[in-house]
Amino acid sequence: DTTVKQNPRYKLARVGKPVNLICSQTMNHDTMYWYQKKPNQAPKLLLFYYDKILNREADTFEKFQSSRPNNSFCSLYIGSAGLEYSAMYLCASSRDHGQLTEVFFGKGTRLTVV
């Protein structure tokens, strides 16, 4: 099974409220990623876990948190949602760092902040 599962597929959140998105994979991949995708923009890497080590991008460091309680699960947490967080959030996984090997993506969670 080469699927990455994301829940929920659609999420409505209020400004100022927290948001928690969930992702799982059963491929025993070392690395799990979160990307943010807005219309007409490239998927933007937010952070990734290599094994238990979290790597966050410098420009999104304070905006997103994540946890990986075991190899299969990874969450993305927004402490206080703003309108600018409305986007598609794509979770992905790969063996190793994903440069030489395929990165597998989930179908995404569409977050709308109102």
Partner 1 sequence: QQKVQQSPESLIVPEGGMASLNCTFSDRNSQYFWWYRQHSGEGPKALMSIFSNGDKKEGRFTAHLNKASLHVSLHIKDSQPSDSALYFCAVSYQGGRALIFGTGTTVSVSP
Query: Taking CB under 8 A as the rule, does residue 105 contact partner 1?
Result: yes
- Fill in the per-residue mask, 76 to 95: x = in contact with partner 1 (CB under 8 A), - = not in contact: --------------x-x---
Q: Running DSSP on this structure, what letter comes out for residue 27?
A: S
| Binding to partner 1, residues 33-62 (CB under 8 A) | 33, 35, 40-43, 45, 48, 55, 57
Whole-number Å distance between alpha carbons of 63 and 40: 22
Whole-number Å distance between alpha carbons of 45 and 5: 18
A 10 A CB-CB count for 109 gives 21
Residue 14 CB, shortest distance to partner 1, in Å, is 26
Pairing of strands 104-105, 109-113: unpaired
Which residues of the shown chain bind partner 1 in the complex (CB under 8 A)?
Answer: 4, 33, 35, 40-43, 45, 48, 55, 57, 90, 92, 97-100, 102-108
